Structures are given as structure tokens and as C-alpha cells.
Structure 1
Amino acid sequence: MLTRRSFTALATMSVAAPFARPAQSQNASVLDSAFERLEQLHSIQVQRGDDLVYARAARGPGLDELANIKSCSKSIVALLLGTCIARGEISSHTARLADVAPALLPEDATEGAADITIENLVTLQAGLEGTSGSRYGGWIASGNWVADALRRPMIAEPGSRMIYSTGSTHILGAAMTEASGQSLLSLARQRLGDHMGFEIPPWVRDPQGYYLGGNEMALTPRAMLSLALLMRDDGTFRGTRIVPSDWIRASTISRGRSPYSGMGYGYGWFLTRSGYALARGYGGQVIAAHRDLGLAVAITSDPNRPARSGGYFGDLIDLLDNPILTFAEAA
């Protein structure tokens, strides 16, 4: 397995080698080498401006078949939230859960749950005990995922710190369904997929019929790249406005910080030190946009193997920061 240190050394050697090929070809060569060393890696696509400068699927279902994007779904829910606010279905990011979707609150909800705001949910700062990691199985086994998440103990002041929890995004997705009168699947199809030319199949629903907000959505890698372009281009896709630009800009302002990776976190998007807005899914699924350098990136990986910040996911960040970032310099 290629370590972060050895990969960085390889990338540096490749770029600095004498008699080297043009920079873009060197970058492609380093990415090709990554497939040989990173056994989890399925596909990489890189677009600079209007040009697809790298696209390869060495493993997995390929670029045109569905891949489970795991928690990249959280970032898509956040994009849809921007459309709900723009249409007045939700009054503001500061609206309280009790005002947006009071029917979701169980009678025995944790004290203070009613006052959790939409912003608290989309930034993963609801304050409630998380439902991810070791608690995920028990949460999914409950008879009511929304109510179970809202009964969790309050372990932090809402808005004070990031607590990674699929339960928070699921509450948000259910609130958007209540506010808009449409399922999360319908919102995703009508406001993203139909306009951008890709299909979104149904995915997991909870016992009450709400689509799981924040996990298990499937898209093709090409659709993932389209979403990266949407983020890169301030909410437009091929000249068509899809998501309000002010929401995209607000989404890429850090509102908190991941206790695991140290990355900033905006409205559903991780923010790297090198300037990417990034959706991250279990196993190493990545949708990334670098607005300033005109880059859009989609990466898929084995969805059944972990990708920790200090391990494989760190290797992917090295890919984003060295050969991929320098594609912009090869223009």
C-alpha cells in the first residue's frame, strides 16, 4: 500500500525529473501510478475549464454505471436545501426545526431539540449525540430514525461544534420533505438530475418513508463530476442556473471544523487548506471543486473498505493537492 509520505515523494520526483514530458502528461502518469498502488481506487476524473484532462476507471463499475456515493449524499442534501430556501419553502437557514417541520418532533424529544436550526443541521452542529460510526447500526435498527435522532442526548450547545452524524442530515432531509411537500428523491431529480442530464435511482427509506438523508445514494461517476462542475461554477451547469450562487458561496465559508480530518466544514461541504470544496463518502468517494483554479474532480473507490484521514483518504488528499492541483498549472 502506498503511504502518504511515499506517494508525495513519488509525485515530487515525477514533476521534477529531468527530460520529463509536458507537465500535464507527468500528472497523468502519477495518477496512473496511483491505480497500481492504491487497491481501493476505482476511478478518477479531472476537468480543467471545459476540458476533461484525465478520466480513468481501472476498477469498479466504470464511469457510466452507478456507484454508491455514501456520505457525499450529505453535500447533495445541502445543495437541495439552498433551492428550498430560494423558493421560500423554508424561510431561512436560521429557521427552527419546530417552525419548519413541527410534526417531526416526538413528544419526548430531547430538551432543546425544537430550537435546533436548519443551519445547525446542515453544518452538523445540532448538538445531539451522533448516530454515525459505532452508533449507526442501532440507529438504523430503530423504528423511527428521525425520532430516535431527536431523542439523543444533547452533548453540546447547538451551533458550537461539529458532531459528525448522518442522523442530523436525515432530520434535515425529512424537514425539507415536510416543507416542500416532495420526497428527497423527487427534489433531487427535479432540481438537479433532470436539469443536469443524469438519473437518480431510488435509495434507502426509513420506516416512515423518508429517504435517507446523508447516505446510500447512487450516482454514476460522470454525474459526480457534473456536481463538481456545479460547485466550481457557482451553481450553474452548462450556462443554466441550478442552485443560487449566494448559496454556493455561503456553503464554502467554514462554519466549523472536523475533529477527524481538521478540515473546515461549511453548508454540507468540507473545505481543504488548498482551496477545494469537497464532498466525502465512506470508502473514498469524492466530489471536489476548486473554483479559483477552475478544477472539478470526481473519485470513486471501494465502498466497502474504510478510508481514514490518516490512511487512504489522506492518500486521496495528496492526489488532489499534488498531481491534480498542478493540472491547472499545465494549461
Structure 2
Amino acid sequence: MLNRRSFSAALLSAFAAPFVNRAMAQTASDIRPAIDALPQLHAMIVQRGDDIVFAEAPRGPGLDRAANIKSCSKSIVALLAGNAIAQGDIAGVNATLGTVAPSIIPPDATPGVADLTIEDLLTLRAGLEGTSGPNYGAWVNSGNWVDFALRRPMIASPGERMIYSTGTTHVLGAALTVATGQSLLEQARSVLGRPLGIEIPPWTRDPQGFYFGGNEMALTPRAMLRIAVLMRDGGQFGGEQILSPDWIRASLRPRTRSPYSGLSYGYGWFLTDSGFVIARGYGGQIIAAHPERDLAVAITSDPNSPARSGGYFGQLMNLLEGPVLTSG
């Protein structure tokens, strides 16, 4: 039997439903032509408030199968770093690699790496020559990925400028493993997987057994969306505070700028002038949130095709800042 409150809620919902449905239809009609023109795009989900206003997978494995999120993994590792700090496993962003995880520093490491801070690693400002791009193959084929990264020459002062390098995030992931006593997989599942109700399957490990910190994680588009909602809502999900709101705020403060896209970069997340918070992965994998517009977005794309800032990634940004941001 309905009481007065439940009857009122049901009546309000009945009146609201046509408006919600019209808004969803309008959003779909705005977005669909744009994604039809992007043959590299596999799947896209858009959530406004609590409502999924667009969810389609015109290509690829679909909305419920895990996709390689590539360098969006860097943003996930950054969230795990924030949790390790909140739990007291790491003293703070100014803690140095030499105090957090001295065991991972090789005897012949580049002078100064012990003094690199967690913030230097989070913001890709370690100053070390990168392991991405032309150095990537030699790095992942080496016998020790952490050692290889920490033996790169210093080409900038730590904390000075962004040098995009997956090796830097891999060192951070190894440091988190040592500091917490848990693998990145265990951390990801306990910090994000169980609280968000998402599955996080095992992914690539290096020759020493450290999970790849900065690449190769796999999530379904729906799982990616839940992380976007977490970022949008200040670390909350489903009414629960999953991550420290202070860490989320700190993550969204610009610390440096990408020399490639020109986007600002916080603690593992790209930041746009329009207000989007973005995790970006090779091929066009995107986890995006826009707190002011109450938006959360997940996009997966062909993981084997490039997505340069002046090419496909630029087209995805036009999609986010055009039909997604302005519709509804």
C-alpha cells in the first residue's frame, strides 16, 4: 500500500519521466551524428546527474566487456596514491622515493632519483628521460622496468616540467606496492573495485612481478563511467565517500602542462579550460567528468590506432566540448 510520501514520489516521477525521456532523446540526437563520423570510436556512455542519457557501442566489444584503457591507467594509479596517503602508508606528496621505497632504487640509479617526490612522479615531472615514444620498446623488453626507468639521464630538474613517461608512473606504482604491502591489483580492487561494484581483472606485470603502473589495465565502459562519476562527485559514489575529497580537489589543481596537447595536468588527470577532468589513453580511451555540468563520460576506441591531439583525440575533445557539453 502506498503511503502519502511514496504516492507523492511516484506521482512526481510519473510527471518527470516524459521530460527526462525527451532530454535523453535530444542528447542522443545531438551525439549520434558526431560519433557516426568517428569510425575509430567503439563505445560511449554519458551520464548527467543520475541519468544515463546516452549509451551506445556502434563498434567494438560493447558496453559490458573489458577494454584496454591504456594510459587512463595512470589516472587510476594516481587515485591509489591518494588513498595510500590518506591511509598513512605514505606521509604525503612531498615524501621522497628514497624514504617510501628505497628497495626499488638500483645501485647505479641516476643521481638524484632518491630525492624524487611522490608529487614529481604523479605530475610526470621526474626530470628523467622518458620511456614512452621511441624508448618504449627498449624499456618493456628490458629485464627490469623500474631499474631501466631510474637509470634514464636527467634532462630537466625534478618538478620543473612535464616529461610524458609511462616509466615514471610505473615507478610510482612499484613504490605504492612497497609502501602498502599490496599489489596494484589488490589496491585497485579494494580501493575502487569493491566500493564501486566494478570488476578489475589482472593485467600485465613486469619481470619483477610489479603490475604495470601506467598502461594495460582493462575496464568495461560502464566501469569507466563509475570512475568518472567518482571524480565528478568529489570522491563520492552511491552516497558513500570512497576517496578523500581533499585528494580529489588537490588532483584537479593544475600543476604542469602537457607539451603535446597543451592541457593542464594535475595529479594524474588532464584538465581543460572548459572544466573537464580527463583520463586519456592511447587510441582514444577517455574517462571524463565535468563537475559543474554534472556530467560523467566514458569513451572507448580502437586501441591499436593513434589518437593525436591534432587528430582523433582533438575530434573527441570537440565531441565532449560540443554536443556532450551543450546538449540537454
TM class by smaller structure: over 0.9
Aligned to 2:116: 116
Aligned to 1:277: 277
Q: CA RMSD in A?
A: 1.0
Give the deviation of 1:294 after TM superposition: 0.5
Give the aligned residue type for 2:94.
Answer: T
Give the deviation of 1:27 after TM superposition: 3.8
Aligned partners of 1:121 and 1:202: how far apart in 2? 23
Give the deviation of 1:241 after TM superposition: 1.2
Give the deviation of 1:240 after TM superposition: 1.1
Give the deviation of 1:134 after TM superposition: 1.4
Aligned to 2:126: 126
Aligned partners of 2:132 and 2:107: how far apart in 1? 24
Give the aligned residue type for 2:40.
Answer: Q
The aligned runs of 1:51-130 (5 Å cut-off) are 51-130=51-130
Aligned to 1:229: 229
Percent identity over the alignment is 66
Aligned to 1:169: 169
Give the aligned residue type for 1:170.
Answer: H
Give the deviation of 1:195 after TM superposition: 1.0
Contact 1:67-1:220 at 8 Å conserved across structures:
yes
Aligned to 1:159: 159
Contact 1:28-1:323 at 8 Å conserved across structures:
no
- Where 1:230 maps in the other structure, the secondary structure is helix
Contact 2:24-2:54 at 8 Å conserved across structures:
no
Aligned to 1:296: 296
Aligned partners of 1:237 and 1:305: how far apart in 2? 33
Aligned to 1:12: none
Aligned to 1:261: 261
- Where 2:54 maps in the other structure, the secondary structure is strand
Give the aligned residue type for 1:315.
Answer: Q
Give the deviation of 1:35 after TM superposition: 2.9
Matched positions, count: 307
Give the aligned residue type for 2:86.
Answer: A
The aligned runs of 1:22-41 (5 Å cut-off) are 25-41=25-41
Contact 2:84-2:180 at 8 Å conserved across structures:
yes
Aligned partners of 1:232 and 1:268: how far apart in 2? 15
Q: Which structure has the bigger radius of gyration?
A: 2
Whether 1:323 aligns to 2:326 is: no
Give the aligned residue type for 2:156.
Answer: A
Scaled by the length of structure 1, the TM-score of the pair is 0.91
Aligned partners of 1:67 and 1:98: how far apart in 2? 35
Give the aligned residue type for 1:138.
Answer: A
| 1:39-75 deviations in Å (ceiling 9; x for gaps) | 1001111101111111111111111001000000000
Give the deviation of 1:37 after TM superposition: 1.4
Scaled by the length of structure 2, the TM-score of the pair is 0.92
Aligned partners of 1:200 and 1:24: how far apart in 2? 29
- Where 1:292 maps in the other structure, the secondary structure is helix
Aligned partners of 2:106 and 2:46: how far apart in 1? 45
Give the aligned residue type for 2:85.
Answer: I
Give the deviation of 1:24 after TM superposition: 5.6
Aligned to 2:148: 148
**Which runs of 5 or more residues in structure 1 are unaligned?**
1-21
